[in-house]
Structure 1
Amino acid sequence: MKQIKGFKKDFLWGGAVAANQCEGAWQEGGKGWSVADILQFRNDIPLNKKYNEETSTDYIKEAMQDDKGVFPKRWGIDFYHTYKDDLKLLKGMGLNSFRTSIAWTRIFPNGDELEPNEEGLKFYDNLIDEIIALDMEPVITISHYEMPLNLTLNYTGWYSRELIDFFVRYCEVLFDRYSSKVKYWIVVNQINLIVHESFNHLGIAEDKVENLLEAKYQGVHNEMVASAKATKYAREHYPDLHIGMMFTDAISYPATCKPEDVLANYRRNQMEYFYGDVLMRGEYPGYAFRFFEEKGIHVEFGENDEDILKNTADFMAISYYLTRIADAESVKQKKTAYDNPFIQANAWGWGIDPIGLRTKLNMYWDRYHMPIMIAENGLGHFDEVEKDGSIHDDYRIDYLRDHVEQMREAVLDGVDVFGYFPWGPIDIISCTSSEITKRYGFIYVDMDDYGKGSGKRSIKDSYTWYKKVIASNGEDLS
């Protein structure tokens, strides 16, 4: 009888970032405008209300001309210029893998060009080579909230079917260029986020469509078709590659055991599973068609879409940060899910639930029986630098320890988890709030939300802790 005792010997212990949140250099190397370049930092919004909202064409044009607003993703942490030193610091923890994304706008600045920007490709040649030289496995996300802004202004984001061919061309360029260097690929980051990250993700300006909800589902359909076409290309030309799909865990708990609440929560969760069901099972589930009918949504299928979608992913990647609860009334009122009173939350209202990670990993394994990568996990928190320069972040150690412990329990349950990538191992700009003071890193970056500071990197207590975890392959969590 096979007995599972812990993490595999080749378990991927890494860290994850996104190009638009760390690179900066937004007007260098031939890079074009991206959706991330117009997202402002605002200090007049409560922390628990900070997320990316819907966006209009007028706002986009105003932001492109705005020379007074604060747009932190334009400068990031200057990783574009500091990546060699930053990667060495990360390797100092013992990382054997590193997840980052490629900025679409560095390769196809407008998104619809026929030929890629060679200067952008050369930057990623150097970055990937550096990751490999440090004996880290590169994990590359192809689309991580970096859509060329031109595809919003002169098309309608992912609502426009033309984007399928544009995106597949982009994917083919990357596979052709890096297939001998990069084994693990995530095609689209958190593909299920079409509510709070709808513009950031799908690039649909709300004033360019009549029915925004319908446009979102049409957009994500087109994106899933493009993802499946890219997977087909990779499998036919480079069969040794591992192509993953990713969503953020948004499966909620029923607020009570009242049958109406259980059913409402279950139906809500079905439309969270929807993306994985399509990309890992290869077809639209019946419950999705009922949902569309009830909401008056029409999703247009291309002639060969059903066949294309049969090109399913090799593994699933998830981001896991928080859990929420839902009941019949909240679903009816479109609030859908809300805070769980039985768990604590950080300053941004994100509920901390390590046990939920074990639960969700088992649920996903039971449903898909696909290898699972935890592509993001972490705690956003304010950090304080002591007079001697030290940064004591016991709260982050506690959070990560509890989650690694529950991840290990899931492995002992028989779940095939093969990698763990804490989010922002070096402080980066927050996706949802465009601030750096919501810090996740093991490495502190001396910069404030307005881009001021020395940029100096300093290690936190959690750096030493994670180094010990990796050295023991997850056994020593003390």
Structure 2
Amino acid sequence: MMKMVEKHMSFVIILLCCVQSTHEVEDGISRSHFPKGFLFGTSTSSYQIEGAPFEDGKGLSNWDVFSHKPGNVENDENGDTADDHYHRYLEDVELMSSLGVDVYRFSISWARILPRGIFGDINPSGIKFYNKIIDNLLLRGIEPFVTIHHHDLPQVLEERYGGWISPLIQRDFVHFAEICFNSFGDRVKYWITINEPSLVAKLAYMEGTYPPGRCSPPFGNCYTGNSDVEPLIVVHNMLLAHAKAVELYRKHFQAKQGGSIGIVAQSLMYEPLRDEECDRQAVPRGLAFVLAWVLDPLVFGEYPSEMQSILGSQLPVFSLEEKSLIKGSLDFIGINHYGTLYVKDCSLSSCPLGADHPISGFVETTGTRDDIPIGDPTGKAKFFVVPRGFEKLLEYIKIRYHNIPMYITENGYSSPSKPDETVDDLLQDFKRIDYHKAYLAALLSAIRRERC
């Protein structure tokens, strides 16, 4: 995880005064090259790391249920053990300390704190577990950076009213957030409300590959769901839940606890697949339907104009009171970024049904150029390693959102696994090393260019 919070001159002057290339930076990159206040860290989420799904009073989460239904996840894998962080957190904290990281971003399992959601009592064992993590981090000089909701929620909320489809979850999320502020806020100075609202909407309610597994043709063949409508409702509820939690924190906790609060949005960067104006226009449209979908309302009080013009009355509407609530409800922006995809226009030319979301007027494609794909070595890559895309994305965010403080909350490389791969093979992690060098160099290049 990385932070970039410098205040800079306009980009007109920046582009004129710096000419250093990313490759020149990468050749001699070191930690000392980054400005004072820049933070290096590691990042996890509760379901992906903790395990212990039924210990010490924890309730079922939506992922506990979803991952145990045959066919929902690849190879019927689940998080029952994961990295066993629940039992090995002291070893993990020691490993982080040995790396010399400044911060550790982790999420709190909603079902470990409130096993029955708002319908039951607080689980004291859950509070104790996260207190131990926070205290041990601080003992080693590592700042806790806490995500309140990272994709997992109590299954009871899914069963009672449909989870994020219902506006009732706004109330329940604020209740959970208040418990977190009360229990941990005296030591936690960095809060993230929700991780990646637009990704949850796409994977859980459009494609059905995340819990609760809702979708409709042509995007997927789920038991129930509406892929055109539900993703829009889910993000709407998440944004209002975020804003209400921020309002609570600012009114009752921030002055005393001295922390800051934001949200994490995810975005790839996009480049036009073809050297045609229609594909070039698809790039900002793609960013609007992925990144600005989340951030525009929280900064400006409105959904992006690109979405409004295409979706019209399908897009939920904020009331005047809600606009006042959500506008400016960010102390910082968190960004999860891994790579770049090419986009093709779908507003003037045909695209295959079910390919991303044709109603948005663009389709993501892996393209045919020479950048390095990440993912399946057969060519079904999820995105491409394009460090220059990182620079472009940072520039887009800085300009569009008037230089709000920014944290890169996730960035990394997942090497394709091979059937005969051994532990020794995995330790020869040259591609991941090259990835981090290239993306850190791109970030450093962007910082230096902006500071001219």
TM-score range, shorter chain: 0.7 to 0.9
Q: Using a 3 Å threshold, how does the CA distance of structure 1 residues 189 and 201 change in structure 2: closer, same or farther?
A: farther
The equivalent of 2:393 in structure 1 is 360
Pairs aligned (count): 389
Question: Are 2:241 and 1:226 equivalent residues in the alignment?
Answer: yes
Quote the Cα distance in structure 2 between the aligned partners of 1:414 and 1:331.
40
Q: Using a 3 Å threshold, how does the CA distance of structure 1 residues 170 and 22 change in structure 2: closer, same or farther?
A: same
Helix, strand or coil at the partner of 1:147: coil
Counterpart of 2:408 (choices 374, 377, 386) is 374
Quote the Cα distance in structure 2 between the aligned partners of 1:245 and 1:331.
35
User: What are the within-5 Å matches in structure 2 for residues 134-145 of structure 1?
Assistant: 134-145=140-151
1:110 maps to a residue whose letter is: R
Counterpart of 2:424 (choices 350, 373, 386) is 386
Q: Using a 3 Å threshold, how does the CA distance of structure 1 residues 257 and 149 change in structure 2: closer, same or farther?
A: same
TM (norm. structure 2) is 0.79
Listed one character per residue, the Cα deviations across residues 429-476 of structure 1 (whole Å, up to 9, x for unaligned) are xxxxxxxxxxxxxxxxxxxxxxxxxxxxxxxxxxxxxxxxxxxxxxxx
The equivalent of 1:51 in structure 2 is none
Quote the Cα distance in structure 1 between the aligned partners of 2:131 and 2:209.
26
Structure 1 residue 170, shift from structure 2 partner = 0.4
Helix, strand or coil at the partner of 2:370: coil
2:293 maps to a residue whose letter is: F
Stretches of structure 1 that go unaligned for 5 or more consecutive residues are 41-59, 417-478
Helix, strand or coil at the partner of 1:324: strand
Structure 1 residue 301, shift from structure 2 partner = 4.5
Q: Using a 3 Å threshold, how does the CA distance of structure 1 residues 391 and 119 change in structure 2: closer, same or farther?
A: same
1:94 maps to a residue whose letter is: G
Helix, strand or coil at the partner of 1:213: coil
User: What are the within-5 Å matches in structure 2 for residues 42-441 of structure 1?
Assistant: 70-113=76-119, 115-193=121-199, 194-198=201-205, 203=212, 205-206=214-215, 211-237=226-252, 238-239=254-255, 240-272=258-290, 273-293=292-312, 297=314, 299=316, 301=318, 304-329=321-346, 332-333=351-352, 335=355, 336-340=363-367, 341-348=369-376, 349=381, 350-368=383-401, 369-381=403-415, 382=417, 384-386=422-424, 391-414=427-450
Structure 1 residue 292, shift from structure 2 partner = 2.3
Structure 1 residue 257, shift from structure 2 partner = 3.3
Listed one character per residue, the Cα deviations across residues 35-77 of structure 1 (whole Å, up to 9, x for unaligned) are 222344xxxxxxxxxxxxxxxxxxx8x569x9xx844312111
Helix, strand or coil at the partner of 2:388: helix
2:238 maps to a residue whose letter is: E
Check whether the contact 1:214–1:299 (CA below 8 A) recurs between aligned residues. no
Q: Using a 3 Å threshold, how does the CA distance of structure 1 residues 200 and 103 change in structure 2: closer, same or farther?
A: farther
Check whether the contact 2:269–2:390 (CA below 8 A) recurs between aligned residues. no
Q: Using a 3 Å threshold, how does the CA distance of structure 1 residues 160 and 208 change in structure 2: closer, same or farther?
A: farther
Helix, strand or coil at the partner of 1:243: strand
Quote the Cα distance in structure 2 between the aligned partners of 1:209 and 1:241.
41
Structure 1 residue 289, shift from structure 2 partner = 2.5
2:231 maps to a residue whose letter is: K
Q: Using a 3 Å threshold, how does the CA distance of structure 1 residues 346 and 63 change in structure 2: closer, same or farther?
A: closer
2:436 maps to a residue whose letter is: L
Check whether the contact 1:6–1:411 (CA below 8 A) recurs between aligned residues. no
Structure 1 residue 114, shift from structure 2 partner = 5.4
Quote the Cα distance in structure 1 between the aligned partners of 2:70 and 2:236.
29
Q: Counting helix residues as a fraction of each chain, which structure ranks higher?
A: 2
Structure 1 residue 275, shift from structure 2 partner = 0.9
Quote the Cα distance in structure 1 between the aligned partners of 2:433 and 2:87.
29
Q: Using a 3 Å threshold, how does the CA distance of structure 1 residues 138 and 200 change in structure 2: closer, same or farther?
A: farther
1:111 maps to a residue whose letter is: G
TM (norm. structure 1) is 0.75
Listed one character per residue, the Cα deviations across residues 345-379 of structure 1 (whole Å, up to 9, x for unaligned) are 13331311112111111111111111111111111
| More displaced 10-residue stretch of structure 1: 316-325 or 244-253 | 244-253
Quote the Cα distance in structure 2 between the aligned partners of 1:243 and 1:153.
30
Helix, strand or coil at the partner of 1:271: helix
User: What are the within-5 Å matches in structure 2 for residues 427-466 of structure 1?
Assistant: none
Quote the Cα distance in structure 2 between the aligned partners of 1:413 and 1:246.
25
Quote the Cα distance in structure 2 between the aligned partners of 1:245 and 1:393.
31
Quote the Cα distance in structure 1 between the aligned partners of 2:281 and 2:64.
41
Structure 1 residue 251, shift from structure 2 partner = 3.6
1:123 maps to a residue whose letter is: F
Q: Using a 3 Å threshold, how does the CA distance of structure 1 residues 304 and 210 change in structure 2: closer, same or farther?
A: farther
Quote the Cα distance in structure 2 between the aligned partners of 1:372 and 1:327.
29
Counterpart of 1:17 (choices 38, 44, 54) is 44
Structure 1 residue 302, shift from structure 2 partner = 6.0
Listed one character per residue, the Cα deviations across residues 187-214 of structure 1 (whole Å, up to 9, x for unaligned) are 1111221212446777464478663321
Quote the Cα distance in structure 2 between the aligned partners of 1:139 and 1:176.
16
| More displaced 10-residue stretch of structure 1: 201-210 or 190-199 | 201-210
1:235 maps to a residue whose letter is: R
Q: Using a 3 Å threshold, how does the CA distance of structure 1 residues 312 and 102 change in structure 2: closer, same or farther?
A: same
Structure 1 residue 264, shift from structure 2 partner = 3.1
Helix, strand or coil at the partner of 1:32: coil
Check whether the contact 2:270–2:343 (CA below 8 A) recurs between aligned residues. yes
Check whether the contact 1:157–1:204 (CA below 8 A) recurs between aligned residues. no
Listed one character per residue, the Cα deviations across residues 72-102 of structure 1 (whole Å, up to 9, x for unaligned) are 3121111000000111012101111111000
- Percent identity (aligned): 27
Quote the Cα distance in structure 2 between the aligned partners of 1:72 and 1:202.
13
| More displaced 10-residue stretch of structure 1: 327-336 or 18-27 | 327-336
Q: Using a 3 Å threshold, how does the CA distance of structure 1 residues 302 and 104 change in structure 2: closer, same or farther?
A: farther
